[in-house]
Structure 1
């Protein structure tokens, strides 16, 4: 017969501490809440000794609920595999530590249904506020927090119909900065590569800014070049989520051509179609240059502008596999986000102030928790262009 496992020792309660210290539970509660002026030095010493002898650990959740404060905040994150999210989280955790808050982190793994379920869960935990960096959360899903008395701060993305503070990159300015850099460096063709952006405001802003810069410099038209676009502008051809829409400046006369490629990283077949479209464009540019008797072999210059680091990594891995280690002699790459591998490969990036974004988001939330009643605030922080060999002349 197997012996019975030893019983788990019973945890000491506030009643045990009061009995050990020879006082009442009210005095113990005052000690735990820091109300030392209500206790004599001798009584404080007895309570401290009793807590140490019994190894008493107060139930912070129960104490917080009793006072209506538990210092818990929820953090709903779309994708913890994205370096951007990890870096934002580092700033948020530092701010939580400084402000005495405890983050409850929920990873939705880019699943809209998981986002909805986590938001419901956070309300049952009575969190004091929520920071949201999510993929497809809609206004009705956030209503229990944003409109239900629980403050919410959005990171990087706005939600239509929800009035809340938002902290993130100045997406328009960042996309404009990158597009102008590529134009100024004489590229003949620029492809903006972005994940599906119908539900994600930051992606929409970046793609729209790309088109607007091209248009402002006389380089945009609504002609489609194949594939399926998003956002209600030129589209035709390939079925599926991945697609291409064109923004061009009459490629026949050698002027700059621009395109948007929608690349759904969650759909391998769609990714394959989109990358094949890029391959055809890169190969065609190389063939045209080599056929010219008046231009060097690298005269036709193509640049890819990745909307974020996951897209940039997908492109870089594919291009290296197809064209070898010297792939950047055929095509340049610029990315919003500055992952560590970008420096190793000489890829130009627009670095986001990720740590500051996370820190500011928690500061904004803390102010709302403490009762700040200002109108909703947008804190848009600038990106920094890090020019590397990939996009230089």
Structure 2
């Protein structure tokens, strides 16, 4: 007996089912939905669902000269910030009929170069990138060939590309003002090594400038966060050092906040008596002790803005236009960890 083969629905069958023209269905799946009435969009979507129709993105891309794929290079897919921004990027892509292809570079510049070549081979229509290494030459060549590029947070000095991310200077000012207003006068800043990551560099620089301008005492510990003994020792020494002013920890990102929370727990330090403030709002921050004060980044808006910038540059077609810096403001969420 011959096993029947599964027949894929065609665009013509969807058109008949929806009572629409083949052109309208094609527009619906090619990113031109705004040209159709809301009722027609609903009819086509329902018909496609009933027929289990899925457009062949690769074939349509080869035919029309566009792949309908957006590429995204993520430095560390385990980072909560990266995951949250990726969700915003994916939402914006889906609304435009685009597919998102994500590659995790694992903070490895060699792997980043490999993934960039892979995405280029798929003829992506744009690239959202959280850069790790120095791929200035390759990325600038990509831009000059007409592929829009948006950098998330981390800037590259030799690449003409839009940068979307947090206003780091304003965020650090907000954190320092809050800690000083709550009576903390001695601060320990915790971060991974800045390296080539421009946000880490910007936050560290603003911290050093900020404590000096406010006549606060500031120390810095920039080491890999998985070196637990070193981190615990640094925090323990900071808390044990004689002083008359209340002490607080300021964490440069969500990973640093988690590491600091574990260290304070191991040292049996009371949150609030020892202040704790972290950049990045994480789900567990409101559940630990009296709650951890955070600076929340508008990750959904950042991801959506990255796609909007890509589409703007693609549609205008002028890739030599000056690149913009799109900065978002952090939102302070005060909790018990900064209540003495």
Q: TM-score, normalised by structure 1?
A: 0.71
Q: CA offset at residue 331 of structure 1?
A: 1.8
Which 5+ residue runs of structure 1 have no aligned equivalent? 18-27, 36-50, 220-255, 289-298
Aligned to 2:327, the other structure's residue is in SS state strand
Which position in structure 1 is the counterpart of 2:333? Answer: 386
Give the counterpart of 1:60 among 35, 57, 76: 57
Which position in structure 1 is the counterpart of 2:284? Answer: 341
Are the counterparts in 2 of residues 123 and 144 from structure 1 also a CA contact under 8 Å? no
1:9 aligns with 2:5: yes
1:260 aligns with 2:189: no
In 1, Cα distance between the equivalents of 2:339 and 2:53?
Answer: 64
Q: Which deviations, in whole Å up to 9, do the C-alpha atoms of 1:276-310 show, x marking residues without a partner?
A: 1221121234xx6xxxxxxxxxx541111000000
Aligned to 1:314, the other structure's residue is in SS state helix
Are the counterparts in 1 of residues 292 and 335 from structure 2 also a CA contact under 8 Å? yes
Q: Work out which of the two has the higher radius of gyration on C-alpha atoms and give 1 or 2.
A: 1
Larger mean Cα displacement after TM superposition, 97-106 or 167-176: 97-106
Which position in structure 2 is the counterpart of 1:229? Answer: none
In 2, Cα distance between the equivalents of 1:114 and 1:7?
Answer: 43
In 1, Cα distance between the equivalents of 2:332 and 2:260?
Answer: 20
Q: CA offset at residue 69 of structure 1?
A: 1.0
Which 5+ residue runs of structure 2 have no aligned equivalent? 13-20, 29-47
Which position in structure 1 is the counterpart of 2:89? Answer: 92
In 1, Cα distance between the equivalents of 2:218 and 2:53?
Answer: 66
Aligned to 1:318, the other structure's residue is in SS state helix
Aligned to 1:64, the other structure's residue is in SS state helix
1:304 aligns with 2:249: yes
Which position in structure 2 is the counterpart of 1:377? Answer: 324
1:362 aligns with 2:307: yes
Are the counterparts in 1 of residues 272 and 339 from structure 2 also a CA contact under 8 Å? no
Q: 1:364 and 1:329, CA in 2 relative to 1: closer, same or farther beyond 3 A?
A: closer
Larger mean Cα displacement after TM superposition, 307-316 or 91-100: 91-100
In 2, Cα distance between the equivalents of 1:104 and 1:207?
Answer: 32
In 2, Cα distance between the equivalents of 1:361 and 1:352?
Answer: 15
Which position in structure 2 is the counterpart of 1:212? Answer: 209
Are the counterparts in 2 of residues 144 and 150 from structure 1 also a CA contact under 8 Å? no
In 2, Cα distance between the equivalents of 1:98 and 1:12?
Answer: 24
Q: CA offset at residue 57 of structure 1?
A: 6.1
Q: CA RMSD in A?
A: 3.0
Aligned to 1:193, the other structure's residue is in SS state strand
Q: Which deviations, in whole Å up to 9, do the C-alpha atoms of 1:153-210 show, x marking residues without a partner?
A: 1111211211111111101110111122222322231011111112101111111111
Q: CA offset at residue 12 of structure 1?
A: 6.7
1:167 aligns with 2:164: yes
Q: CA offset at residue 257 of structure 1?
A: 1.6
Q: Which deviations, in whole Å up to 9, do the C-alpha atoms of 1:244-292 show, x marking residues without a partner?
A: xxxxxxxxxxxx4211110213xx44x422331221121234xx6xxxx
Which position in structure 1 is the counterpart of 2:236? Answer: 279
In 2, Cα distance between the equivalents of 1:96 and 1:300?
Answer: 50
Which position in structure 2 is the counterpart of 1:200? Answer: 197
In 2, Cα distance between the equivalents of 1:56 and 1:334?
Answer: 49
Q: Which deviations, in whole Å up to 9, do the C-alpha atoms of 1:57-78 show, x marking residues without a partner?
A: 6533122112101211101111
Aligned to 1:328, the other structure's residue is in SS state coil
Q: 1:65 and 1:284, CA in 2 relative to 1: closer, same or farther beyond 3 A?
A: same
Are the counterparts in 1 of residues 74 and 102 from structure 2 also a CA contact under 8 Å? yes
Are the counterparts in 2 of residues 304 and 333 from structure 1 also a CA contact under 8 Å? yes
Please show how residues 181-260 of structure 1 align to structure 2 within 5 Å: 181-217=178-214, 219=215, 256-260=216-220
